[in-house]
């Protein structure tokens, strides 16, 4: 599996919904990194996060469904960050994922082992289960006080989502923060140089 060029943004380790929303990353120079660009990469992403079992093999249909949920989450998160209304179709998509599969682990019994609980779904419902877990995380986040910490990285072209860890942070990683600071420094120096040039010519 190809690794993302940036570390997880603040909040992505704790929230699978932020993690999924950030699987498409826009990089300087017009490059785009997509952790879900193939069914195999999508399967690896889900396995790494414990959302499907090792050995699972998801098809392009499942990949496309997860990408669809990603788009819905990004719209919902962007609406929360901007304070605007969320697209009704995005909300419908998240709610459909919530209802697709139960999150409750069932009770089982095995001779010699006793009682235990586990989530069991047919192979055809693997992606539905994963999507319902992610959608549940998004719903819990958006309806909680923690939602006020949700922000979008301001280091263009990056637009990853994050939870602010302190009052002023507006970027998702040190690399993005360094790029913002470098751009501001360059802009200041250029403005000073232009001002000096104007003064000399006057």
Burial class (CB in 10 A: 0-12, 13-18, 19+), 121: middle
All domains in the chain, ordered by first residue: 16-201 (1.10.3300.10)
The model's pTM:
0.80
Instruction: Please write the tens of the pLDDT for every residue from 29-38.
Output: 888 999 999 9
Residue 154 confidence class, pLDDT cut points 50, 70, 90: confident
d(CA 101, CA 75) in angstroms, rounded, equals 22
Q: What is the mean pLDDT of residues 170-179?
A: 82
Residue 161 confidence class, pLDDT cut points 50, 70, 90: very high
Percent of the chain with pLDDT over 70: 82
CA dihedral over 181, 171, 75, 39, signed as positive or negative:
positive
Per-residue model confidence (pLDDT) at position 192: 66
Q: Which whole-number Å values give the CA distances from 37 to 14, 70, 91, 107, 184, in the listed order?
A: 23, 13, 24, 36, 34
Instruction: Please write the tens of the pLDDT for every residue from 105-153.
Output: 778 788 988 888 776 655 557 888 899 999 999 999 999 999 999 999 9
Per-residue model confidence (pLDDT) at position 168: 65
Residue 178 confidence class, pLDDT cut points 50, 70, 90: confident
Nearest CA to 15 out of 97, 145, 136, 195 is that of: 136
d(CA 10, CA 91) in angstroms, rounded, equals 24
- Strand, helix or coil at 183? helix
If one counts every other C-beta atom within 10 angstroms of the C-beta of residue 44, the result is 18
Instruction: Please write the tens of the pLDDT for every residue from 46-81.
Output: 999 999 888 888 899 999 999 999 999 999 999 999
If one counts every other C-beta atom within 10 angstroms of the C-beta of residue 116, the result is 11
Nearest CA to 55 out of 126, 120, 108 is that of: 126
């Amino acid at each position: 599996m190809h690794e993302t060029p940036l570390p997880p943004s603040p909040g992505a380790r704790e929230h699978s919904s932020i993690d999924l929303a950030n699987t498409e990353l826009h990089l300087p120079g017009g490059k785009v990194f997509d952790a879900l660009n193939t069914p195999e990469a999508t399967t690896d992403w889900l396995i790494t996060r414990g959302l499907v079992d090792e050995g699972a093999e998801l098809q392009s249909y499942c990949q496309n469904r997860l990408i669809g949920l990603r788009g819905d989450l990004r719209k919902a998160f962007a609406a929360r960050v901007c304070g605007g209304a969320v697209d009704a179709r995005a909300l419908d998509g998240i709610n459909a994922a919530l209802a697709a599969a139960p999150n409750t682990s069932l009770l089982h019994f095995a001779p010699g082992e006793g009682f235990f609980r586990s989530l069991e779904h047919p192979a055809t419902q693997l992606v539905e289960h994963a999507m319902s877990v992610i959608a549940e995380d998004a719903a819990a986040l958006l309806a909680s006080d923690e939602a006020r910490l949700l922000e979008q990285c301001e280091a263009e072209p990056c637009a990853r989502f994050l939870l602010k860890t302190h009052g002023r942070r507006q970027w998702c990683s040190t690399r993005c923060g360094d790029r913002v600071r470098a751009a501001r420094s360059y802009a200041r120096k250029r403005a000073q140089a232009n001002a000096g040039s104007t003064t000399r010519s006057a």
